[in-house]
């Protein structure tokens, strides 16, 4: 078996996900339609394909240990000049995102990894584009707000085409997969396979 590139994130639900994805594309980000709108928990991580069942069981156990929590997005921020990123801020739900990502990356688990930068939950709306495009994103979404109840997180795999596709959702309180978030406008995201995974 070979390796796969995985990521774990909280999907931004509709209609907010598609709106921010379309805005990201409008700012000139060519990756917009290959990346569903999300709050990262674990960034792109290369793992041996044979470890997938272990990873799936680990994620199910983490999800089973959590309950739904409110998330609110409000305003914009940027990581410039350290990193060419403009994002929408996570205003509510920050501490629980921190707890989730810490448990998922636990040193005893299959997704342990060091981060390049300290963890900071956010929703990217521009990455690696022109300064003008990033300035537009920062200014035009400065008044943006959205709120929802987060009930799950998801495991994604990056395909050879660079597109991120959802493998499974993990429902808080049970760890079992739930129905997929609808495909965002313009995204070539496949419908995920749903299978039973063990809960904690």
pLDDT of amino acid 177: 62
pLDDT at 15: 96
Q: What was the pLDDT predicted at 113?
A: 85
Confidence of residue 159 (pLDDT cuts 50, 70, 90): very high
**Strand runs (DSSP E) across the chain, as ranges?**
3-11, 38-48, 69-78, 85-92, 122-127, 145-150, 152-158, 164-171
Task: Round to whole Å and give the CA distance between 162 and 115.
Answer: 21
Q: How far apart are CA 166 and CA 193, in angstroms?
A: 9
Q: What is the largest CA-CA distance in the chain?
A: 48
Check whether 151 has a pLDDT greater than 80. Answer: yes
Mapped onto helix, strand or coil, the DSSP state of residue 79 is coil
Closest CA to 164 of 1, 2, 3, 4: 4
DSSP class of residue 50 equals: G
pLDDT at 189 over 50: no
Contacts for 171 with CB less than 8 Å, ≥ 6 apart: 63, 151, 152, 177, 178
- DSSP, res 128: S
Which pLDDT tens digit goes with each residue over 30-72? 999 999 999 999 999 999 999 999 999 999 999 999 999 999 9
pLDDT averaged over every residue in the chain:
89
- CA distance linking residue 59 with residue 3, whole number of Å: 19
């Amino acid at each position: 078996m070979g390796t796969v590139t995985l990521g774990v994130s909280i999907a931004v639900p509709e209609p907010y996900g598609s709106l921010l994805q379309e805005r990201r594309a409008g700012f000139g980000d060519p990756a917009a339609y290959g990346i569903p709108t999300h709050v990262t928990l674990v960034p792109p991580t290369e793992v041996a394909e044979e470890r997938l069942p272990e990873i799936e069981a680990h994620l199910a156990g983490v999800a089973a240990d959590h309950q739904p929590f409110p998330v609110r997005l409000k305003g914009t921020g940027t990581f410039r000049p350290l990193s060419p990123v403009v994002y929408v801020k996570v205003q509510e739900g920050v501490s629980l995102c921190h707890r989730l990502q810490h448990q998922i990356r636990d040193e005893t688990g299959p997704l342990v990894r060091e981060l390049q930068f300290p963890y900071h939950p956010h929703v990217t709306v521009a990455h690696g584009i022109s300064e003008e495009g990033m300035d537009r994103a920062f200014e035009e979404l400065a008044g943006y707000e959205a709120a929802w109840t987060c009930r799950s997180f998801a495991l994604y795999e990056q395909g050879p085409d660079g597109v991120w596709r959802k493998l499974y959702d993990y429902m808080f309180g049970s760890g079992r997969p739930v129905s997929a978030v609808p495909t965002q406008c313009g995204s070539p995201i496949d419908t995920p396979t749903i299978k039973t995974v063990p809960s904690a």
